[in-house]
Amino acid sequence: MRGEVEVWSGDDLILREANMLTDGAGELLADIMTVSPSLATIADPATQAILDASNYTIQAISFGTGPDAFRSNAHAKDNKWNQYYSSFLSNIANEVIGNIALLRSNRLDQSKNENEQPSNGGFPSTPDPVKKVLEENTSLSSNLINTDVSSVFPGNGQLTNFLPFTIMNAVMSGTDFSSIAAAPKVASLLGCFPEGSGVTYSNSRNRVIYFDDLGTGLEVTATTGSYFNQFSSMDVSGFVNKTAGVNTKLGLTVSSNSNFASNGIVEYAVKLSKDDALFAHAYGGIYHLGMWTIDMNKTLMNGNTPPLSFSVLNNPRKYKLFCRKGVSKDLTYINNINNYQDLTIKWRIHFL
């Protein structure tokens, strides 16, 4: 079994390389071979549902970056971040919770007549099939109201999805960051993807501003919103759910051709909107891709029983990393941040 990954920016192929299967793939095969068929004889429907084939196939994709990205880029609580919240917003309820989502960067060089802005992911970890997450040490270092953000929301190894208002409002409730002043600040640090195009704002939609050290800035206005949040395909932890059909804007699709019996090729595909790419860039870029199956043992131990319906807020599915792809150059790198195109990821697994 082997895999290969293609990444397309609009109509341009920017990457085609082999992936790496992880130990999770072997664990999944062991689970398939050892789960007891006798579960089908038990009257409880939830117990019978453990045998459903969907529990043992790839169900999600996620995106990661280097560990340093989570202490810099738009994850950083720096002087520009403080300036933004102290002077640029006169109405927090309308502007932040309405989620214009202004993101910060101190890397804009005004001496250059260009908009080239490489993200800072640091040094991503080397490929290792033993790893169970895309990246280690991804907790934020920021502190608000005398509380470490990571003590409430520890890093999970990948880009997460806290910016949409409905997600932010729900996950902050009952925490130290539940107030109308704290919640949007913490969400803006955690990131990493904008609202969907169906959300409108009191000013301009999904606006991103990159600041330089002098306080001047370059404004980029996003236009499409997030496909993930438009179609509710990404949960708060950053897992994009597998969807039916072939529309890659709706989530992770799966397909095979008429020659599957002879070639054994299954293709998974997903599309990031140009605003998804822009926001991911602001939060450190994309240096890792991962495909995930359901970890049935962990799911059951967490008190969740099949059938396991995907949920954006309270996803009962616990995942096991099946394969991953690391790249040496940020997939969201671009020479002009006003010229982003949709990114399409095609991931083919050869089972023969």
pTM for the structure as a whole: 0.90
Q: Give pLDDT, residue 89.
A: 45
> Which residues contact residue 41 at a Cβ distance below 8 angstroms, ignoring those fewer than 6 apart?
none
Give the pLDDT of residue 148: 95
Nearest to 119 by CA among 328, 342, 280: 280
Q: What is the pLDDT of residue 91?
A: 44
Which of 130, 162, 133, 121 has the alpha carbon at shortest distance from 330? 121
Closest CA to 101 of 182, 176, 203: 203
Q: What is the pLDDT of residue 4?
A: 96
Please state at what angle helix 165-172 crosses helix 182-190, rounded to 10 degrees.
Answer: 110
Residue 176 has a pLDDT of 94
pLDDT tens string, the chain, 352 residues long: the values are 899 999 999 999 999 999 999 999 999 999 999 999 999 999 999 999 999 999 999 999 999 999 999 988 888 876 666 666 654 444 444 344 333 344 544 444 444 444 455 566 777 888 899 999 999 999 999 888 899 999 999 999 999 999 888 999 899 999 999 987 788 888 888 989 988 887 765 554 445 555 454 445 555 666 788 999 999 999 999 999 999 999 999 999 999 988 888 888 999 999 999 989 988 988 889 999 999 999 999 999 999 999 999 999 999 999 999 999 999 899 998 877 778 899 999 999 998 8
Rounded Cα–Cα distance for residues 248 and 253 (Å): 6
pLDDT for res 117: 54
Structure tokens that stand for 92 in this block: 């927090």
